[in-house]
Structure formats: C-alpha cells, structure tokens
Chains A and B, each alone.
Chain A
Amino acid sequence: DGGITQSPKYLFRKEGQNVTLSCEQNLNHDAMYWYRQDPGQGLRLIYYSQIVNDFQKGDIAEGYSVSREKKESFPLTVTSAQKNPTAFYLCATVRGTNYGYTFGSGTRLTVV
C-alpha cells in the first residue's frame, strides 16, 4: 500500500543537539510538507517542497532545515537554534491541485 512513513515515532534529544526526522513516501507525490503541532494550537507550516531540489520556508522555519534530494524523501532537521523544539511533527504530501492530502503518523520530539 502507498503511504507516508515517519520515523521514529518518539524521539528524545538533549538540549544543544541537532536531530533529523525522517519522512518517506511511495505515493509519487510531488509536494511534501512539514507541520508542527503544539497542545491547544492548530498545525503550523515549517517548510514545504513542491519539487525535487527546491523547498520554501513556511510560517515557522526558524531553527529548522530541510532537504529534498529525492522525490520520496523530505527529512527535517531540528537544529539547536530552535528555541522550543518539543512538539509533535507531521509530514504530509499532496498529489496536486484538487487532490486531498495524505498525512504521516507523526514524530513526537521531546527535548530533555
């Protein structure tokens, strides 16, 4: 079955460390997105990519970085510059205009 795989499901990081969250899809979708969810708030866009080797900042990109070297993969690095990284991170893809989104199962990151 086609879908999105996010790993790991739970991640613990020490303050000052960078950490990379994985998002892999086998749906052959062009566009991929990273969202952050905090308790009581709506999801917010971190970065998105509409094509390989190209990506754009979302609303809360500071402290994060991404790459899109392959269509299937859109990893997110949470850097030590991100002041409050503890959150739930969701990856999503969309096939194109007028199509629905597909979401991964998410990664819960906790800074200890």
Chain B
Amino acid sequence: KNEVEQSPQNLTAQEGEFITINCSYSVGISALHWLQQHPGGGIVSLFMLSSGKKKHGRLIATINIQEKHSSLHITASHPRDSAVYICAVIQGAQKLVFGQGTRLTINP
C-alpha cells in the first residue's frame, strides 16, 4: 500500500462543475503539498499546508491532521484547470513522498 493515496485517479467533468480530489496518507508529516503538473511536465506548487484550510482564487485546500486526509477543491472549473494534480507529504529532512496523481479533464 502506498504511503500517500489519491482518489480518484482520473476525473472528467464539465466546465463549471465543483471538483474534489482527495488525498489520504499513512505516515507522520510536517506539512502537505498540492501540486499541479501540466502536459509539458513542469510542476507548480499550489498550496503547502499543515492545518486547516487555504484558498487561492478558485482553489481551496483543506487538511485534517487527525484523520490524515486532505482535499483539493476547484470551484467553477474551467478547461484550463485540466492537469494532473499531485498530493505530496513532507517527512523528515524535507523529504517529499508523492501520491500517484489525479488526472483531471474539464470539458467545455
């Protein structure tokens, strides 16, 4: 079993829909990242959080440390949100452990 599990692995939705991607982890962490990877391969960090909730534009990330679970929400989804979203947890020595990613496709 992977230390970081994401669901769903693939998600297709229509433009405007509310999107939720889930991340569960089984190890102790100091913080959690949500990352976005576009088809070209480069990765952008969306959020780093260790408690509660963060919001940036149409993106919202939450984390529940007791339940070892985090969610990424996208409101009013748009085709340009289509990408792979990756959850990664930070362990000691700033080591990142990555989930397998969720491939999101938003159709117009």
Q: Does B100 lie within 8 Å of A41, measured CB to CB?
A: yes
Q: How many residues of A contact B (CB 8 A)?
A: 29
Query: In the complex, A101→B45 CA distance in Å?
Result: 7
For B101, give the chain A residue with the smallest CB separation: A42
Q: How far is the CA of A48 from the CA of B42 in the complex (A)?
A: 19
Query: Can you report 18 residue pairs joining A to B where beta carbons are below 8 Å apart?
Result: A35-B96, A40-B100, A42-B2, A43-B88, A43-B96, A44-B98, A45-B95, A48-B93, A50-B94, A92-B43, A97-B30, A98-B31, A100-B48, A101-B96, A103-B35, A103-B43, A103-B45, A105-B40
For the A-B complex with A43-B88, A44-B98, A102-B45 known, give 10 more contacts whose Cβ atoms are closer than 8 Å. Answer: A33-B96, A42-B100, A45-B96, A88-B41, A92-B43, A92-B96, A98-B50, A103-B44, A105-B40, A106-B41
A44 smallest CB distance to B (angstroms) = 8
A44 to B88, CA, bound (A): 11
| Contact mask for chain B residues 22-57; partner A; CB cutoff 8 A; 1 contact, 0 none | 000000001101010000111111001010000000
Q: How far is the CA of A42 from the CA of B31 in the complex (A)?
A: 18
B68-104 CB contacts (< 8 Å) to partner A:
86, 88, 93-101
* Docked CA distance A90–B45 (Å): 13
The 6 tightest CB contacts between A and B, nearest first, are A42-B98, A105-B42, A103-B43, A106-B41, A100-B48, A43-B98
